[in-house]
Structures are given as structure tokens and as C-alpha cells.
């Protein structure tokens, strides 16, 4: 079973987001991308 990455979930949330929540969602997206990149590095090694 493939694990869904936080970055992808956050991208979907931003796509459906309301303006008030945008800044918070962008912070979450940045965190998700960092975790996603770290996971890719671990998989790549």
C-alpha cells in the first residue's frame, strides 16, 4: 500500500482552498515539500 505524501495532500487542499486559509496552507505545503524531498532522498539512496 503506497503512502500518500503530505505534499500532494497539501497541494490538493490549496487547490480547493479559500483565500483566508491560503497563507496557512502555503506554510503547510512548504513543510510537506520538505518532508517529501527528504523521503525521496531516502528512497533514492
State the pLDDT at residue 8.
75
Residues 6+ apart with CB under 8 A from 13: 25, 28
**Taking all residues of the chain, what is their mean pLDDT, rounded to a whole number?**
71
Query: Does residue 2 lie within any of the structural domains?
Result: no
Query: Does residue 30 lie within any of the structural domains?
Result: yes
How far out from the chain centre does Cα 38 lie? 12
Helix (H) or strand (E) holding 24: helix 19-44
Query: Does residue 29 lie within any of the structural domains?
Result: yes
Domain count along the chain = 1
Over residues 11-26, the pLDDT tens digits come to: 766 666 566 566 777 7
More confident residue, 31 or 14: 31
Q: Which residue's C-alpha cell is 496552507?
A: 25
- Cα separation, 22 vs 45, in Å, equals 34
Mean pLDDT of 30-41: 79
More confident residue, 19 or 32: 32
Residue 38: which domain range? 7-14+21-44
Mean pLDDT of 31-35: 79
Amino acid at each position: 500500500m503506497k503512502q500518500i505524501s503530505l505534499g500532494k495532500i497539501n497541494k490538493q487542499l490549496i487547490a480547493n482552498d479559500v483565500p483566508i486559509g491560503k497563507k496557512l496552507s502555503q506554510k503547510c505545503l512548504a513543510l510537506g515539500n520538505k518532508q517529501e524531498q527528504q523521503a525521496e532522498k531516502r528512497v533514492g539512496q
